[in-house]
Structure 1
């Protein structure tokens, strides 16, 4: 079975699967709506995910009357929502009821720390967890 992200379809096949003219796919690529992978010779290779996006672009344009700039913004916002949902799921995987530990990584991203693990940028001094200068650590103590 071919992965949804495997970039295997040449432009003519992708255009046929999406119900579009190949020139339309080239235009969408130039506008940044759908950016397929490239071969060493710079030929475009589309994935099933790209083809689904092409169909969504066509639906938004023809059925909903959204212009291409609006479609590009919609696609960007959907991608942002997907990234945020993945981050929420990642953080949920580290939590357990009554005990949650989060800290900020040097990149500024929120990082979950497993219970019992020391957050980055912290140390224990006389049995107390303290942050090193410049570290931002947020935590919710375990209820007693």
Structure 2
């Protein structure tokens, strides 16, 4: 993350791509999930996507993660509606 420009981080935050916590004094605190997301943003930028495209990809990836988790839950032994 050290290679990212501060201005870019602020743009990503304004666009809702990353939402770091803040200290009482307003300093941004990036956790590991934020750092991972920023790395992904960098990868997508390198592939030529613009900010709107990146936002769409991140939203779709998040949705896919949720659907995969739900699928695993439903397939787990003992799930309601699952034959034993």
Give the shorter-chain TM-score range: 0.7 to 0.9
Identify the match of residue 11 of structure 2 among 16, 23, 27. 27
* Matches of 2:77 and 2:53, distance apart in 1: 37
TM-score by length of structure 1 reads 0.51
Spell out structure 1 runs of 4+ moving beyond 2 A: 38-43, 139-142
| SS of alignment partner, residue 24 of structure 2 | coil
1:84-119: CA deviations, max 9, x gaps? 111111112234xxxxxxxxxxxxxxxx42xxxxxx
Are residues 92 and 25 of structure 1, via their aligned partners in 2, closer, same or farther at CA, if it must alter by over 3 Å? Answer: same
Aligned length: 84
Matched, 1:48 2:32: yes
Which one has a bigger Cα radius of gyration? Answer: 1
Q: What pairs up with 1:17-96 in 2 under 5 angstroms?
A: 19-61=3-45, 63-95=46-78
Are residues 66 and 94 of structure 1, via their aligned partners in 2, closer, same or farther at CA, if it must alter by over 3 Å? Answer: same
TM-score by length of structure 2 reads 0.82
* Matches of 2:40 and 2:82, distance apart in 1: 43
Where does the alignment leave 5 or more consecutive residues of structure 2 unmatched? none
More helix by share: 2
1:140 deviates by: 7.4
* Matches of 2:83 and 2:23, distance apart in 1: 52
